[in-house]
């Protein structure tokens, strides 16, 4: 007896890189778009249902879920700013300083909406990047450390995904502990 043919998974059951090209994004930047879209989706899955104590918990002194989600948004924003060849604004520096603040009771939806909007804006920006400029010099930070357009875009996505991994561990630990670990 032959086993029944398996059905292909729904798109929601696959990762973004397995869903085909993102419309309008240059081929060289498809991986960046896929990572950013995966970041947004994964964060939503990981933080769904967190209590305020769980958002702010810092077991063993590690960064809180609130920090990771804010930081992901900020990293994408800052690295895409550098990719455009621009300097960070005072608003961006203020957001950077606020990333580690405890989350307020009414803030979770706002933080997730900011991440969603930033990913949407980043993917839209990818659509406007001229592939001929990907190797162009971009100075990063006040020290103007050497990078390129593609270096900034890739690092923004890659750094965001690293924090998704850390967020995954943090949310598992705080849920398993029942948020018994008080915020630091």
CATH of domain 25-176: 1.20.120.450
Copy the structure tokens of residue 103.
């989350």
Model confidence over 117-138: pLDDT tens digits? Answer: 999 999 999 999 999 999 999 9
Identify whether the C-beta of residue 63 lies closer than 8 Å to the C-beta of residue 181. no
Give domain limits for the chain: 25-176
What's the whole-number mean pLDDT along residues 81-110?
94
pLDDT at 10: 53
Residue 182 is predicted with a pLDDT of 55
For residue 1, the model assigns a pLDDT of 43
pTM exceeds 0.85 for this model: yes
Burial of residue 157, with CB atoms counted within 10 A of its CB: 0-12 exposed, 13-18 middle, 19 or more buried: buried
**Under 8 Å between Cβ of 51 and 172:** no
């Amino acid at each position: 007896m032959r086993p029944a043919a398996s059905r292909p998974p729904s798109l929601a059951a696959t990762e973004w890189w397995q869903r085909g090209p993102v419309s309008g994004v240059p081929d060289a930047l498809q991986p960046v778009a896929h990572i950013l879209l995966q970041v947004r989706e994964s964060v939503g899955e990981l933080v769904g249902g967190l209590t305020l104590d769980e958002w702010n918990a810092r077991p063993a002194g590690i960064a809180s879920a609130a920090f990771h989600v804010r930081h992901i948004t900020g990293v994408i924003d800052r690295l895409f700013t550098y990719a455009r060849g621009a300097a960070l604004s005072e608003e961006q520096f203020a957001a950077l300083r606020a990333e580690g603040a405890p989350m307020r009771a009414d803030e979770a939806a706002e933080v997730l909406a900011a991440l969603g909007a930033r990913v949407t804006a980043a993917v839209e920006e990818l659509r406007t990047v001229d592939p001929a400029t990907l190797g162009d010099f971009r100075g990063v930070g006040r020290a103007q450390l050497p990078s390129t357009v593609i270096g900034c875009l890739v690092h923004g996505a890659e750094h965001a995904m690293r924090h998704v991994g850390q967020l995954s561990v943090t949310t598992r630990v705080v849920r398993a502990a029942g948020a018994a670990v008080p915020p630091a």
